[in-house]
Amino acid sequence: MKKIEVIGLQTIPEIQAGDNLAQIICDCAKKENAGINEKDIFVLTSKIISKAMGLTRKKSDVKVSEKALKISKKTGKDPVWVQMIFDAGHEVVAVIPLGGVITDYIAATSGDAQTSRRLCNNEKCLFITKSPTGSIHTCDAGIDGSNHPEGIVSLFPDNPDDEALKVRKELQKISGKNIAVILADTELVPYGTIDTPVGSSGIDPCPMVFGKKDKFGRPKFGGADLVGLELTAASALLFGQTDAGIPVTIIRGYDYQFDETKNISSAPHYSGNKKEFYQIIRGTMKATSYVVKGTVKKLLLRIGSWFIR
């Protein structure tokens, strides 16, 4: 019998700037009788990385520029939030308006429709941004105010792959085991959100097996599995999005080859120009909308309109 386990560490304390994450994780794994085994995969939320690195900011310290005020007036977005996105070095590539059919959909999928509508009305919109390194973020440059005191936000690490490597090396030094590390963050997708891998070390997040022979000797059309995404999504079942208090999971039993060179940045990604990128998005959404009707079709077409350039 084969099995894969996902173990959520429930005793991770509130992380403070300067904390040794690796030591805390090892101590909690021991305390919870999980231990650390050879080839374990540790999946960490990017937020605890940001907290340990001291990447937090007081909104009251933000100095709003004329550019941020102008975009705030146009979109309804909090000018302080807009400025923090610019201060992080991100480029705004699209705006997702939170109104109409989108708010209706969010309210319909919520346990508290009234609160959901109020949150959407307050937020006004979300920005899809591009980081200085070229990565795309669907939720305001990864800036996050949840699970922080009022007026405090965490900022996204500049190089998540490097941070994953640092944590991995320290975990291996303390435990004496060869392990892999994946950093996770929540991103927006049609119909909801999902935790995605934003940094990794020790494991190839997208093995190149497309076209390899199947058990009957025929080349397989498929196999470009997003392993990093699959492992992160499994961990998200324990992370939760509100008060679960589990920022670290151990995935045990998944068979993989150690890889010191591959990470999220090195994984295949689209590298064409902006015009081609938006054409692909519009074409995909237009094609998809033909197979559905009613509110769902309206939602898909609205998603296509997010990419406004």
pLDDT in tens, the chain (309 residues): 889 999 999 999 999 999 999 999 999 999 999 999 999 999 999 999 999 999 999 999 999 999 999 999 988 899 999 999 999 999 888 888 887 777 887 777 777 888 888 888 888 888 888 888 878 888 888 898 887 888 899 999 989 999 999 999 999 999 999 999 999 998 877 777 889 999 999 998 887 666 677 777 777 666 567 889 999 999 999 987 656 789 999 999 999 989 888 888 876 555 556 666 566 556 655 555 554 455 555 555 555 454 434
Q: Do domains 5-55+157-259 and 58-153 have the same CATH topology?
A: no
Q: 255 with 25: CB under 8 angstroms?
A: no
* The residue to which tokens 């101590």 are assigned: 27
Q: 23 with 271: CB under 8 angstroms?
A: no
d(CA 5, CA 74): 48
Query: What is the per-residue pLDDT for 283?
Result: 63
Query: What is the per-residue pLDDT for 19?
Result: 96
Element (H, E) at 291: none
User: Is this structure's pTM higher than 0.85?
Assistant: no
Q: From its phi and psi, is residue 255 left (phi > 0), alpha (psi between -120 and 50) or beta?
A: beta
Strand partners, 197: 184
Strand partners, 137: 129
d(CA 109, CA 270): 32
3-state secondary structure of 264: coil
d(CA 34, CA 28): 8
Give CA separation, 146 vs 1, 6, 47, 112, 234, in Å.
40, 24, 10, 18, 21
Q: Please name the fold of domain 58-153.
A: CofE-like fold (3.90.1660)
Q: Interior CA angle at 63 toward 58 and 66, to 5°? A: 145
Domain-by-domain residue ranges, the chain? 5-55+157-259, 58-153, 272-309
- CATH entry 3.30.1330.100 includes domain 5-55+157-259: yes
Q: 44 with 181: CB under 8 angstroms?
A: yes
Residue type, position 106, single letter: I
Query: What is the per-residue pLDDT for 307?
Result: 42
